[in-house]
């Protein structure tokens, strides 16, 4: 198998050939056809959580593929099934972590990894899907899309006519726009430093946009022009930048909810000013992947895709081969990719 290996934090991934071990109890071997590149994976590479005691190891937690073989005890899928590979736990066995062999030693795997042509995945990190679903869409159902839809429905509980501000108009932000539109949130505001991303969010369904790179901009005043002085009902922060999280909390309406998708670096503080002004039922919490239940939610979300209620073609804006993953990661960090970047394992 061919894989991108993280050997050192804040360094490029090493593209290597690894040997597959024998399948153990609860493990499934999948031929990975497509994988998304999630912002959380980039944060992991950059060491946002601090020291990584599991190096070297594989990465990736959202993919689409075909079951190649199943290990002892597996009943949830069978050989040749199409599957979504996801990080959220579902029904089935939770297996041991696989360990792969490289020319220089052992490389760790997780319960799911997708930056590799083949992957040994825990049974409870797989969901069988129809063969009519293309692998790119399947990969988005592994994290990006399910997080966005679940967040709006299960965590934010956005109601008809409630206002929402989405800070960060990348791939998750774009999915959040579509999810907010599905439940008739209004206004749907996106904020970013890229006009290209903001324009794309407006095409997808945002009603308003704010460019945060404008030095003369008073972010709070711009939000008040759109929503009035009462504040914003729901704010989703996808960048993990502490000052934007703090600013978002200030902008919340009474009983408003601020949900953090982006993760600040280890050691960074979020400062909430004027504590006495915050006794208004406000809530701030981190997203748990939209509280997605893969066993039921993925099938429901596929219905939305099939009926064109969600347009994933407008979210996927870049496709690369595995060999080009380091350039793609740099482009994502430099804000050069508008929407979702997909690894196509069939690309040359």
Three-state secondary structure of 105-131: EEEECCCCCCCECEEEEEHHHEEECCC
Mean pLDDT over 199-210 rounds to 95
Q: What is d(CA 304, CA 180) in angstroms, rounded to the nearest whole number?
A: 14
Mean pLDDT over 188-204 rounds to 95
Shared domain for 111 and 151, answered yes or no, is: no
In this structure, is residue 302 part of a structural domain?
A: no
**What pLDDT, on a 0 to 100 scale, did the predictor assign at position 272?**
84
Which range, of 145-149, 183-187, 274-278, 288-292, averages the lowest pLDDT?
274-278
Q: What is d(CA 55, CA 67) in angstroms, rounded to the nearest whole number?
A: 27
In this structure, is residue 308 part of a structural domain?
A: no
In this structure, is residue 88 part of a structural domain?
A: yes
Q: Which residue's structure tokens are 């219905």?
A: 303
Mean confidence (pLDDT) of the chain: 94
Residue 3 clears pLDDT 90, i.e. is over it: yes
Q: What is the CATH number of the domain that holds 72?
A: 3.90.180.10
Shared domain for 206 and 285, answered yes or no, is: yes
The predicted-structure confidence for 29-53, as pLDDT tens digits, reads as follows 999 999 999 988 999 999 988 899 9
| DSSP-based helix, strand, coil % in the chain, nearest 5 | 30, 25, 45
Shared domain for 10 and 109, answered yes or no, is: yes
Shared domain for 128 and 152, answered yes or no, is: no
Shared domain for 101 and 148, answered yes or no, is: no
In this structure, is residue 306 part of a structural domain?
A: no
Shared domain for 161 and 71, answered yes or no, is: no
More confident residue, 314 or 36: 36
What percent of the chain has a predicted confidence (pLDDT) above 90?
85
The residue range of the domain holding 219 is: 144-290
- Whole-structure pTM value: 0.93
User: Which residues pair with residue 4 across a beta bridge?
Assistant: 15
For the chain, what is the domain count?
2
Helix (H, G, I), strand (E, B) or coil at 333: helix
User: Which residues pair with residue 219 across a beta bridge?
Assistant: none
Q: What is the CATH number of the domain that holds 229?
A: 3.40.50.720
The predicted-structure confidence for 67-88, as pLDDT tens digits, reads as follows 999 999 999 999 999 999 999 9
In this structure, is residue 173 part of a structural domain?
A: yes
Residue 348 clears pLDDT 70, i.e. is over it: no
In this structure, is residue 305 part of a structural domain?
A: no
Shared domain for 222 and 137, answered yes or no, is: no
- Which of 31, 117, 123 has its CA nearest to residue 72? 123
**What pLDDT, on a 0 to 100 scale, did the predictor assign at position 335?**
87
**What pLDDT, on a 0 to 100 scale, did the predictor assign at position 274?**
73
**What pLDDT, on a 0 to 100 scale, did the predictor assign at position 295?**
96
The predicted-structure confidence for 124-139, as pLDDT tens digits, reads as follows 999 999 999 999 999 9
- Strands, E assignment, 129-180: 164-167
Shared domain for 172 and 206, answered yes or no, is: yes
Shared domain for 148 and 231, answered yes or no, is: yes
In this structure, is residue 70 part of a structural domain?
A: yes
Shared domain for 154 and 247, answered yes or no, is: yes
The last residue of a domain, from among 273, 290, 307: 290
- Both tokens of 127, joined, read 């969901």
Q: What is d(CA 226, CA 204) in angstroms, rounded to the nearest whole number?
A: 19
In this structure, is residue 322 part of a structural domain?
A: yes
The predicted-structure confidence for 262-285, as pLDDT tens digits, reads as follows 888 888 999 888 777 777 889 999
């Amino acid at each position: 198998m061919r894989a991108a290996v993280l050997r050192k934090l804040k360094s490029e991934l090493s593209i290597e050939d690894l040997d597959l071990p024998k399948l153990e109890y609860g493990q499934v071997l999948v031929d990975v056809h497509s994988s998304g590149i999630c912002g959380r994976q980039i944060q992991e590479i950059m060491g946002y959580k601090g020291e990584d005691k599991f190096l070297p190891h594989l990465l990736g937690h959202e993919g689409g593929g075909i079951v190649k073989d199943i290990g002892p005890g597996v009943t949830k899928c069978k050989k040749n099934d199409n599957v979504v590979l996801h990080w959220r736990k579902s029904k089935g066995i939770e297996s041991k972590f696989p360990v792969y062999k490289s020319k220089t030693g052992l490389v760790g795997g997780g319960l799911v990894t997708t930056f590799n042509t083949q992957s040994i995945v825990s049974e409870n990190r797989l969901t069988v899907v129809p063969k009519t679903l293309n692998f790119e869409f399947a990969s988005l159902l592994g994290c990006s899309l399910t997080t966005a839809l679940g967040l709006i429905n299960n965590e934010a509980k956005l109601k008809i006519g409630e206002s929402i501000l989405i800070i960060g108009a990348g791939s998750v932000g774009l999915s959040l726009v579509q999810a907010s539109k599905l439940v008739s949130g209004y206004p749907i505001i996106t904020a970013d430093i890229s006009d290209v991303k903001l324009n794309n969010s407006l095409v997808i369904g945002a009603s308003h946009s704010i460019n945060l790179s404008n030095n003369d901009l008073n972010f709070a005043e711009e939000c008040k022009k759109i929503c009035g002085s009462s504040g914003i009902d729901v704010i989703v922060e996808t960048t993990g930048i502490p000052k934007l999280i703090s600013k978002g909390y200030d902008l919340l309406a009474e009983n408003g909810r601020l949900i953090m998708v982006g993760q600040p670096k280890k050691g960074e503080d979020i400062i909430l000013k004027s504590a006495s002004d915050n006794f208004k039922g406000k809530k701030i919490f981190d997203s748990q992947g939209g509280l997605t239940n893969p066993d039921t939610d993925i099938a429901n979300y596929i219905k939305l895709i099939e009926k064109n209620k969600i347009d994933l073609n407008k979210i996927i804006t870049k496709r690369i081969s595995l060999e080009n993953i380091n350039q793609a990661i740099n482009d994502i960090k430099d804000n050069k990719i508008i929407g979702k970047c997909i690894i196509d394992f069939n690309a040359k």
